[in-house]
Copies of this chain bind each other. A is one copy, B any other.
């Protein structure tokens, strides 16, 4: 008997959003300087990696049931070298093992040919995640290897930082911005990879801090799930993220990082409870903003 086809990643993500009642995602960007006092490590990469691993696994347990997904920032682990890579693999495994969370490896890889294949293989094997984030500057070659067999990717279209305007806001001769042209590329690359939900395995990163752009990009990418970072600590609020959604309230996943994972006093031994409350507040805020009962 042939093995069952894996569930389409967009269908799976939407199922998890429905289960918690809000398109909420927590970003895991752990740094040793902000850990609870009880977890602060001794010096060295091995101790630091162990500490951010323990913290991350605590956060994953805390946010289960409140959010549909966790987005793990690879850079926080990579800075600690091979110890960090081993910790990242275990954190991703713990998030997968939870069973009720979509797992996004935020590593923003962008390469071509066999190198793109290698990165994609990593995210299906040792660093397995349901979704990755990828750069689109190198075209379809840097996107397509990350799709298929239950895996999806969010391509960088419009980032939340001010200096991104220097490239993404440039105006083309045909009237589009560079970000809009990248959006059209993403829409075309993802067109044939839609699930029963109508959404594609190729999504788009669209920052919460650019609401005017988000509305135009939503129109150009009707089948893309938007991964929307920049909510909370980076300044984006509920009104800023609404243009990322379709009129039916679907189509985006909103990520809050620091405002949730550091929602505690460092001396508080009950920090897990504080993180859980912050994740639940995120869920309610998004559900209320979208007019969904939660």
Residues of A within 8 A of B (CB): 29, 31, 45, 73, 75-76, 78-86, 88-89, 108-116, 118-119, 121-122, 125-127, 135-142, 156, 159-168, 170-175, 178, 181-182, 185
Contacts and interface: CB of A to CB of B under 8 A. Distances in A.
29 contacts: A31-B114, A45-B126, A73-B118, A75-B111, A75-B114, A75-B116, A76-B118, A78-B118, A78-B122, A78-B127, A80-B122, A81-B126, A82-B126, A84-B126, A108-B109, A108-B135, A110-B110, A110-B135, A110-B137, A112-B159, A112-B163, A137-B156, A137-B168, A139-B161, A139-B164, A141-B164, A167-B182, A170-B181, A171-B173
B136 A167 contact: yes
Contacts of A118: 31, 73, 75-76, 78-79
Contacts of A116: 75
B135 A163 contact: no
9 interchain residue pairs of minimum CB distance = A81-B126, A139-B163, A85-B85, A82-B86, A75-B118, A75-B115, A79-B118, A112-B161, A141-B163
A76 to B, nearest CB: 6
A43 to B, nearest CB: 12
Contacts of A171: 172-174
Contacts of A121: 79
Contact of A178 (B81, B109, B142, B170): B170
Nearest to A140: B163
Given A108-B110, A122-B81, A138-B159, A29 B115 contact: yes
Nearest to A143: B163
* Majority SS at the chain A contact face: helix
A77 B122 CA distance: 9
Nearest to A88: B82
Contacts of A136: 137, 167
A193 to B, nearest CB: 16
A170 B162 CA distance: 22
Contacts of A159: 112, 137-138
Contacts of A174: 171
B178 A163 contact: no
Contacts of A185: 166-167
A282 B89 CA distance: 39
Contacts of A119: 75, 78-79
